[in-house]
Structure 1
Amino acid sequence: MKRYINLFIITLLGAGLLAACNKQLEEYNPSGLTVDQVFSTPDGFETLVNAAYSYNRWWYGKEEGYSISEMGTDLWTSGTGDKYPDLTQYINLQASNSVMGGLWRQLYSAINLCNTGIARVDKAGLTADRKVIREAELRFLRAFYYWHIVETWGGVHYTLTETNGVQTTANRTPVDTFYAQIFRDLEMAAANLPRTTADYGRATKPVAMAFLARMYLTRGQNDKAAALADSVINNFGFALQTKYADLWRMDNLQNKEIVWAVNYMKNLVFNDRLDATLYPNGHSRGANNGHLMFTMKYDDLPGMQRDIANGRPFNRYMPTLYLLQLFNEKADARFDATFKTVWFCNNPATGRRGMKLGDTAVVCTKYIVSPADTAGKPYRVYDRNTSYLSGEGGSDRTHYISLKKFDDPTRGSKDEEQSARDAYIIRLGEMYLIAAEAQINLGNKGKAAEYITTLRKRSIIPGHEAEMQVTDADMSIDFILAERARELAGEQLRWFDLKRTGKMGAQISAHNPDAAKNFQSYHIVRPIPQDQIDAVTNKSEFTQNPNYQ
Structure 2
Amino acid sequence: MKFLNKHILIIAMAAVGLAACNKKLEEFNPGGSTTDAVFSTPEGFESLVNAAYTYNRWWYGKEEGYSIAEMGTDIWTSGTGDKYPDLTNYNNLQGSNSVMSALWKQLYAAVNLCNAGISRIDKSGLTEDKKKIRGAELHFLRAFYYWHIVETWGGVHYSLDETNGVITTANRTPVDTFYAQIFRDLETAMSNLPLTTTDYGRATKPVAEAFAARMYLTRGMNQQAADMADKVIKSYGYTLLPKYADLWRMDNLQNKEIIWCVNYLKNLVFDDKADATLFPNGHSRGANNGHLMFCMKYDDLAGMQRDIANMRPFNRYMPTLFLLNLFDETADARYEASFKQVWYCNNTKSAPSGMKLGDTAILVTKKQLPLSAKYRIFNRDEIYTANGGGLDRTHYISLQKFDDPTRASMNEEQSARDAFIIRLAEMYLIAGEAQFKLGNPQKAADYINIVRKRAAIPGKETAMQITAADVSLDFILDERARELAGEQLRWFDLKRTNKLQERISLHNPDAKQFFQSYHTVRPIPQDQIDAVTNKDTFKQNEKYN
Both proteins in one fold, TM over 0.5: yes
Partner residue of 1:90?
Answer: 90
Rounded Cα–Cα distance in structure 2 between residues aligned with 1:346 and 1:529: 45
Match of residue 16 from structure 1: 17
Letter in 2 for 1:374: L
The aligned residue for residue 364 of structure 1 is 364
Question: Where in structure 1 do 4 or more consecutive aligned residues deviate above 3 Å?
Answer: 24-28
Say whether the 8 Å CA contact 1:364–1:381 is kept in structure 2. yes
SS in 2 for 1:250: coil
Using the alignment, how far apart are the partners of 2:321 and 2:388 within structure 1? 6
d(CA) in 2 for partners of 1:140 and 1:415?
37
> For 2:54 and 2:391, how far apart are their aligned partners in 1?
39
Pairing partner for 2:519 from 520, 523, 529:
523
Matches for 1:118-197 after TM superposition, within 5 Å: 118-197=118-197
Q: Distance in 2 between matches of 1:463 and 1:439?
A: 29
Alignment of 1:315-394 (within 5 A): 315-369=315-369, 373-375=370-372, 377-394=373-390
Q: CA deviation at 1:466?
A: 2.9
Q: Is 1:18–1:166's contact at 8 Å kept on the other side of the alignment?
A: no
Matched residue type, 1:140: F
| 1:18–1:167 Cα contact (<8 Å) kept | no
Cα pair 2:186 2:208 within 8 Å, conserved: yes
Letter in 2 for 1:159: S
In structure 2, list runs of 5 or more residues that go unmatched: none
Give the 3 Å change call, closer, same or farther, for CA 21–392 of structure 1 in structure 2. Answer: farther
Counterpart-to-counterpart distance in 1, 2:460 and 2:48: 52
**Distance across 2 between alignment mates of 1:478 and 1:75:** 13
Which residue in 2 is equivalent to 1:304? 304
2:249: which partner in 1?
A: 249
Give the letter aligned to residue 274 of structure 2: L
Q: Secondary structure of the equivalent of 2:259? A: strand
Q: Deviations over 1:63-90 (max 9, x none)?
A: 0000000000000000000000001110
Worse-superposed segment, 165-174 or 462-471: 462-471
TM-score by length of 1: 0.98
> 1:372-410: CA deviations, max 9, x gaps?
x224x2110001001100010000000000000000000
Paired residues of 2:294 and 2:318 also in contact (CA < 8 A): yes
> For 2:251, what is the secondary structure of its paired residue?
helix
Asked if 1:485 is matched to 2:486, the reply is no
Give, in whole Å, the separation in 2 of the partners of 1:357 and 1:17. 56
Letter in 2 for 1:508: I
> Equivalences for 1:479-518 in 2 at 5 Å?
479-518=475-514
**2:113 aligned residue:** 113
| Aligned residues of 2:21 and 2:169 also touching (Cα < 8 A) | no
How far off its partner does 1:18 sit?
Answer: 3.6
Q: Distance in 2 between matches of 1:320 and 1:280?
A: 34
Cα deviation, residue 261, structure 1 = 0.1
| Partner Cα separation in structure 2 for residue 384 and residue 520 of structure 1 | 29
Q: CA deviation at 1:12?
A: 2.5
Q: TM-score, normalised by structure 2?
A: 0.99
Deviation at 1:281, TM superposition (A): 1.1
- Aligned pair count reads 543
Name the CA distance, whole Å, in 1 between partners of 2:26 and 2:9: 14
Q: Is contact 1:18-1:168 (8 Å) kept?
A: no
Q: 1:11 to 1:479 in 2, by over 3 A?
A: same
Question: 1:29 and 1:427 mapped to 2: Cα distance?
Answer: 39
Instruction: For 1:509, give the aligned amino acid.
Output: S
Q: Which residue of 1 aligns with 2:265?
A: 265
When residues 353 and 136 of structure 1 are mapped into structure 2, their CA distance, relative to the original with a 3 A threshold, is same
Tell me which residue corresponds to 1:6. Answer: 8
Question: Is 1:428 paired with 2:424?
Answer: yes
- Counterpart contact for 1:533–1:539, Cα < 8 Å: yes
Equivalent residue for 1:396? 392
Contact 1:72-1:89 within 8 A present in 2 as well: yes
- C-alpha deviation, 1:187, in angstroms: 1.1
Partner of 2:39: 39
Mapped to 1, the partners of 2:25 and 2:259 lie a distance apart of 40
Aligned-partner SS, 2:10: helix
DSSP-derived class of the 2:455 partner: coil
CA contact (8 A) 1:8 1:29 kept: yes
- What is the percent sequence identity of the aligned residues? 72
2:99 partner SS: helix
Q: CA separation in 2, counterparts of 1:181 and 1:187? A: 10
In the alignment, is the contact (CA less than 8 A) between 2:22 and 2:168 conserved in 1? no
Matched-pair contact (CA < 8 Å) for 2:157–2:171: yes
Paired position in structure 1 for 2:472:
476
Shift of 1:20: 2.6
Aligned-pair CA distance for 1:21: 5.8
Cα distance in 1, alignment partners of residues 29 and 410 from structure 2: 40
For 1:498, give the aligned amino acid: L
Per-residue deviation, residues 258-294 of structure 1 (Å, max 9, x unmatched): 0000000110010121212321111011100000000
Instruction: Please state how far the C-alpha of 1:166 moved relative to its aligned partner.
Output: 1.4
Distance in 2 of aligned mates of 1:290 and 1:203: 23
SS in 2 for 1:274: coil
Provide the alpha-carbon RMSD of the alignment: 0.9
Cross-structure match for 1:217: 217
In structure 2, C-alpha distance between the alignment counterparts of 1:466 and 1:424, rounded to whole Å: 29
